[in-house]
Amino acid sequence: EAQVTQNPRYLITVTGKKLTVTCSQNMNHEYMSWYRQDPGLGLRQIYYSMNVEVTDKGDVPEGYKVSRKEKRNFPLILESPSPNQTSLYFCASSLGTGASSHGYTFGSGTRLTVV
């Protein structure tokens, strides 16, 4: 089944403890992206990647890192999480880097709480 898989689904952590949220897609998509969803703010883009070893900042990149060593994986790293990073995170991928009728395929989300 074509899908984007994120892990974990739920995570509670303490301030300052490094964490990684994994994202993997099995559709050979070139483009991958991370979003955070907050009430009343919709989805805001954190980072995106157009292909292996090519990443760029989205609208809210502060406090996050990403890497794209393989086409299928795009982990999100929080080196020193803070409470304002408590949010619902989504990984998404799409075929190609241009706008197309395909849109995004989204993962199921990771609910992160930083205390």
Partner 1 sequence: GEDVEQSLFLSVREGDSSVINCTYTDSSSTYLYWYKQEPGAGLQLLTYIFSNMDMKQDQRLTVLLNKKDKHLSLRIADTQTGDSAIYFCAERGTGGFKTIFGAGTRLFVKA
Q: Which of 8, 16, 83, 103 binds partner 1 (CB under 8 A)?
A: 103
For residue 33, state whether it binds partner 1 (rule: CB under 8 A).
yes
Q: Show the binding pattern over residues 46-85: x = contacts partner 1 (CB under 8 A), - = does not.
A: --x-x-----x-xx--------------------------
- As a whole number of angstroms, the distance between CA 54 and CA 73 comes to 13
- As a whole number of angstroms, the distance between CA 55 and CA 48 comes to 6
Q: Which of 20, 26, 80, 108 binds partner 1 (CB under 8 A)?
A: 108
Q: Which of 13, 45, 73, 86 binds partner 1 (CB under 8 A)?
A: 45
Closest CA to 24 of 89, 68, 74: 74
Closest CA to 74 of 56, 89, 52, 59: 52
